[in-house]
Structures are given as C-alpha cells and as structure tokens.
Structure 1
C-alpha cells in the first residue's frame, strides 16, 4: 500500500484510534481481511461473518506484524475504530488511488472479464510494476482490496469491474477512476439483477460514460451493443475485432489445435500472434489486451510476444490438462452463461483427440424466463461443435438433452451421478469438458483433476 501513518488512516476513513494505537506508526503493507495473510506493516480488516468474526483474530494479526486492525467493536490490540469496515476500506482505496501514480485500466463485459484482465495484467507487467485484480475480486470488497495493494512504484493498476445491477460499475469507477476502459461484450447473464439484455448494455456502458475526454476506451467492434457505446463517452475511442474497419483487428486467423494464431493489425503496424490459451474466444480477449497496450505505447512486436507468452492465471477457466490414462480434461467450471458455454463447447470441438469428445454441462443460472431456451440452444451448439456425448447435470438441464438431437445424451440428477457415469464411460484418449454455473460441476472437475498428470 502507499505508506500512511495510523493518524492518516483514521483521518481518511473517519475513524478513531484506540488508546493502544500509535498515531505515527507507519502502514507500509497491504490490507488483509484474512488473518492468515496479515503481515508486517499491514492493516487487518475485521469483518463480522456468518461463520466467523474477524475481530476474534485481531490479536493474531497483530502478532504477525499488522500495525493495527480496522474494527467496528472494541478489541485488545491497536485499532482504528469505524462504523462500517467495508466503507472504511472503500475510503482508504479512494485515497490510495488519488495519490498513486499508476495508470488505471478498467475491464468490463458479460463474459471474459477475468481472462482479459489477466492478459492485460501480464502484458502491463512487461512494461512496469503492475497490480491486477486477483481471480475475480471484482465486487464491493475485492475491488477496494485490490486498489489498496498499489505501492509507490506501481505503474499500472488493472481492475475487473463487475455488476449485477445499474450503478454498480459507476460506484467502482468512483473508487479508482480509470483512464483506459475496455468493454468486451454484452450478453445474457445475471438477468435476475439486470432484467434484460438492454439493461445489461446500459450497465456496461457506465464504464465508457465515466471516462473523460483525457481518457481512452476500447470497444468490441463486432458487438453492436458495445460498438454503440462510442456515442456515450467523451473519451477517445478505438475499436477492436475482426471487422476491416477496426483499429485493432485480427487477420488470417488460424484455429490450429484450439490455441489460435492470427495477425495482429494495429495503427502502428502488424505482428503475428500465437496464443497459448485454448478457445476462439481468446482471440477477442487478446485483441482487447492488445488495444490497451497500443494505447500505452507498446509496439506490435512487443504486444505479440507478450500475448504468446501469456498463460492462464485464474483457476477453473479453460484449464486443459491430461490424465495418466490419456484423457484430456478442459476444466472451465468456474461459472457459465450462454456465451461462455458456447465458447467452451467450440473449444472442445477443436481439441485434437483420438477418442470421443464428452461435455459435462451444468445449469446456467440467473437466466429467468430464458432458461429453457438458452439450455436447449446449448444442446444444439454442442451437437454442431462435434461433441460426441453430453452429460447434463442437475435440475433445469433437461433442455440441453432436448436440443442435442442426434448426440448421445444423458441427464443425471447430481454431480455424484455424473462422476459415476463418467467412470463407466471414459476410455483412454477421450476429451472431457466440465462447465456450469458456480459449484454445479466443481465436484466433477475435482474428481477428474485427482488423476491429473500434465497441463497442456
């Protein structure tokens, strides 16, 4: 974190120091809400939870070197007392962002945010010290937590911006105002919060709306709802995609074995990119990252080299590995919506294998009245991608079976049944995709991973 005295921390957060807290004690480490990660020079954020109260671990955090605890009730170790711990963290993050020298880059979209943020973070790290959102810490806790990791020498701060309703992205932008924004796509997801794809588009447009005339926005030229956001921002706009008129585009795309190659075309020149990431959707993610790096002044050859060396950072996202029996597994089980499911079954269809292609598919949540239609369409997409067998897991997934006409397809009630069926069906050389909304296929992926041998 940007070094601050406890007196400054109290002033920024509107808190009050405990009698045992030294106002001049300097905070130089990060802010942690997991006492196991609290360390020398840091702050511990005590959050009351359903299963445990962070205040009970304040003494442990202090013993590990934390300067003080941000607390909402009396504790026996140095503290900054506040009314609301998350609100205090937010105020602290706003201060850090306001005094840091880092260029702030915001990424949003219905899917692909985490993978694209990971790409941008890896590319920026080649230019200078970089802080990026870990995994998908993109909400009211994870966002300010990430901002507070910025240090005096940090040059780039890459933030994933998520929303489940209108106004959420604006609130995150107000904590750490981006000067470069990326909008990936607008799709069917979180309809329980947005209600419609039109509202989703309005929510995603909050990022380009927020960025001022001195900033830059990268928009997906091939998504009409995203491309239209050029009309709502005063920032300079660059578009990326496969359209001929996109400033950042992919030409001569070669699907190879599912890890695509393409020629990156930019206003500064062209370079050949060979991705090490599985799935055609990563072409768009790579183009978005390339656009950011172009805005930061990187040359096409430098961008292409970085994209070729970039790897998967976040778990359960297109993680391809081979078991000792020769079975290839695609663990993309972290979450799912119609667009990411479509990309995943296409990736399975492109994966080289001498055996069968089997898709274990769980429910796509939060689709409201579109649930049956989207799952039926997924079955059709799997069939069209060349999937040989489908195992649909749990309630609500029967329409996948209905849509996969002509494909061997089985509906099972739960993950245990899916595992049992796989154990009976799998043969050496088969390829298996595991995907579904949160937790709904994790047990299946973990069972397959127990026999993991090598990453692809």
Structure 2
C-alpha cells in the first residue's frame, strides 16, 4: 500500500482515530493490508471484519503481536495498537481501495485490467500476471481474491511504482460486480463466459448474464471490453457498453483467434491468429479450454500495447494454471493425479472430463473421482445427471462419486452404460481414498474434480502423496 499518515488513513475511511501511546497522527503506515491475522506482517494494516463463523475483532491482539501498525475496527478493542473506528469495516475497505488506486493513477501510469466469467477467472488472471510482470511492476493476487473483500485487498497492493493492476471480479448476486467497478474502473474489462456457476444463487442463467454484464456496462469510452465471441450471452454485452470492443475466440470473426487447438498430456497448443499474423502457442497447462483463457489474456494485454509475440512467450513459461486447477501430480509408481478440485461448474466439469479422456493413452486407465457441483439450485439434479452420462460417453474406465449431493452422477452413469462395478458411490473423501488405495494401479490417470465445498482437492493431494 502507498504510504499514508494515520490521520490521512482515518480521514479517508471517515473513522475515529484512536492512537496507541507510541504513535501520533503523523505516524505513517505503508505495509500490507490483511483481514486474516495469521497473514499479518510487520507494518501491516489489519481490518477486523465480522464474519459468518468468527469476528475479526477477536484477533486484533494477534495482529498486533505479529507487528501490525494499525487496525480498522467497528468497535474499539483493548489492545495497544492504533485503531480507526468505523461504522462498517467492509465499506471502509472499499473506500480505502478506491482512494489508494485513484492516487496511484493520478501520480503515475497505472493501468487496471479486470476479469470476470463463470469459469476461468483465476487462470486468466494468472496469465495476465505472467504477461504483464514482464512489462513492468504488476500487482495481481495469488489465489482467488475476487469478492467484495478479496478484490479491494488486491487493489490495495499497489504503490507508486505499480504499472499494472489485475483484478479478478466474481459474483454470487446481481450488483456485486457493479460495486467492485465503482471502486476501480478498469481500463480493460474481460468477460470470459456466462455459464451455470452459482446459477442457484442467481436464480437462473439470465440473471447470471445480467450480473456478468456489469463488467462492461459502466466502462468509459476510453476503455476496452474484451469479449468472448463464441458465447452468445457475452456477445449481447457489446450493445451494453460504451467501450471499444475486442473479440476473442474460435469464430472466424474474432480479432484474436485460435485454430488447431490440440490438448495432450504435456499441455495445450494452438495457432494464434492476430493482426494478420499467425503465432504458434504452446502452453504447459492441461486442457483445451485454457486456450480461451490465453486468448483473453493476449487480447487484453494487446489492448495495453503488449505485442502478442511477447505475450505468447510469457505464457509459455507458465507452469500451471493455479494450485488445484488442472494441477498434474505424478506419483513414483506411475499413477498421475490431475487435481482440479478447487471449484466446479457443469462447464468446467465437462471440460476436465474431456481432458482426462484426451490425455489418457491407450495403454492407460482413466479414473474420475467426482464430487458435488455446488450452488446449482433447481438445475442441480439435471446437471449432475448430465455429467454422469458424459463420463460413460467419454469411455472413462472407472468412476468414484463422492457424497450424497453428487449421487446423480453415479446413478446416471449406471443408466447410460451397461456397467458392472465401474462406478462406485462413497460417502466421503476418506471412503474414496480407501477405494482408490485398493483400486489404483501403475499408469492410471486420475482426475479429481468437485466444487471447493466438497473438499476433494485435499483428497487429490492425499492420493498423489502431496503435502498441502
């Protein structure tokens, strides 16, 4: 964060300044900003936010012990640390992020790129970081910091030297992306896809489309909207923005286009067609669907002046999409685990299964370990059923379905094919581990996939013998 005095910090968030004995109103703070006391480093600013299961005010003391310089609180606590008391900690966080980004923009050449979509946000954000950090000082979070708390925390990582800020914007309701856009208006806004992720919370696909379109509706004429030409719902967003539109995708009309997309066990390759040139692209990331994420990142950075050749070179050095996202975890006995269980939607589940079928050699056995796709609401039974049928149609050799909420995957697989023991329904991750320990043999390729709430990413680590 940029350097601020305690008084300046208090004035920005509209709080009451309660100074510790060792501080004055002119004392400065410029450290990291955290809401998790366990991550606090010396000089940090700690936001004590109330949560669903705990209250950040209980950890102000822990933050102080780790060296935090100040805490933003909703009520003063009996801890020897400077405190700024505000009515609403989340609102104060957003206000501070807005002001800090505005000051950095006003003093330098900061450009902001924001990305949203039902799938692929974090991978695309990581691709953007890989490209832009080769061009200049770049701030982009490690991990999926994309909500009303995580996104402002990401923004507060900028300082006066920062040239590029990459922000991931997620939503579980209409209005949430719009609120993030009001904090920081992007120079480039990306919409990847409108799918069924969180559709249960939104109330239907039309509501998801409305929410994702908030990325571009308030962009100024000077901004660029990077849109997926292959998704009809995203295409409609071009009529809702004043920004210049750049299309990416597989369609011949896309300005940034991919052809000859090929997935293999070593990664994904395609030919990039842009600016009347063709450039071979080799990604070390599993899954043909990641070609679309790469196109979005190339299109966005091209809008910022980065030559596509340099963007492609940077992407070639990206070893994996992110932790627990198509993460290849080979074992010494020849079993290969593909741990993609950070999150799941019908689209990403189907893409992961297609990748499993694609990368499994004829002399290997494909094994899918699948858990619940959460937050699908009324679409849940139908979409889990569809995934079970897809498993059979892709000729996946073994299916382990984990948890009652995912049972329709198991049931549909049994109805789709004349299986005899190829699909097993187990109660939990421990039971799944016991089954896999008995069943797996050298050469097996194992996909582990579920929503984060099912916790199968830890099962994937356990099967692979990887320490968390």
Relative to the length of structure 1, the TM-score reads 0.95
Is this contact kept in 1: 2:384–2:406, CA < 8 A? Answer: yes
**Aligned partners of 2:311, 2:246: CA distance in 1, in Å?**
16
**Structure 2 CA distance for partners of 1:420 and 1:250, relative to 1, 3 Å:** same
- In structure 2, what is the Cα distance between the partners aligned to 1:68 and 1:19? 9
Which residues of 2 match residues 48-197 of structure 1 at below 5 A?
Answer: 48-49=50-51, 53-74=55-76, 75=78, 76-101=80-105, 102-197=110-205
Deviations 1:262-314 (A, max 9, x none): 11111263311001100011010000001011111122221211111123253
The answer for unaligned runs of 5 or more in structure 1 is none
Asked if 1 retains the 8 angstrom alpha-carbon contact of 2:97 and 2:183, the reply is: yes
Q: In structure 1, what is the equivalent of residue 262 of structure 2? A: 254
**Structure 2: distance between partners of 1:246 and 1:438:** 33
**What is aligned with 1:4?**
4
How do 1:368-447 residues align onto structure 2 when only pairs under 5 Å count?
A: 368-404=377-413, 405-406=416-417, 407=419, 408-440=422-454, 441-447=456-462
SS of 1:273's partner is strand
d(CA) in 1 for partners of 2:66, 2:376: 45
Residue in 2 aligned with 1:450? 465
Q: 1:269 to 1:297 in 2, by over 3 A?
A: farther
Long gaps (5+) in structure 2: none
Of residues 298, 304, 317 in structure 1, which corresponds to 2:306?
Answer: 298
- Once the two structures are superposed, residues 302-329 of structure 1 have per-residue CA deviations (whole angstroms, 9 ceiling, x without a partner) of 1211111123253211111101111000
Q: Structure 1 residues 72, 268: CA separation in 2 closer, same or farther (over 3 Å shift)?
A: farther
Query: Counterparts of 2:430 and 2:64 in 1: how far apart (Å)?
Result: 43
Q: Cα gap change, 1:64/1:443 in structure 2, threshold over 3 Å: closer, same or farther?
A: closer
Question: Compared with structure 1, are the counterparts of its residues 295 and 50 closer, same or farther at alpha carbon in structure 2 (3 Å cutoff)?
Answer: closer
Aligned residue pairs: how many?
452
Q: How far 1:52 sits from its partner (Å)? A: 5.2
Displacement of 1:347: 1.2
The TM-score with structure 2 as length reference comes to: 0.92
User: What CA deviation, in whole Å up to 9, does each residue of 1:347-389 have, x standing for no partner?
Assistant: 1111244321000111111222221211111122222333111
Indicate whether 1:315 and 2:323 are aligned. yes
CA contact (8 A) 1:134 1:146 kept: no
Q: Structure 1 residues 256 and 416 mapped into 2: Cα distance closer, same or farther (>3 Å)? A: closer
369 and 49 in structure 1: CA distance in 2 versus 1, 3 angstrom threshold = closer
Pairwise CA distance, 1:234: 0.6
- Give the secondary structure class of the aligned counterpart of 1:439: helix
For the aligned residue pairs, the C-alpha RMSD in angstroms reads 1.8
Write the mapping of 1:336-347 to structure 2, written as runs, cut at 5 A: 336-347=344-355
Task: Provide the C-alpha distance between the structure 2 equivalents of 1:297 and 1:31, rounded to a whole number of angstroms.
Answer: 31
User: 1:264-275, aligned counterparts within 5 Å?
Assistant: 264-267=272-275, 269-275=277-283
| SS of equivalent to 2:253 | coil
The answer to whether the 8 A contact 1:393-1:411 is kept is: yes
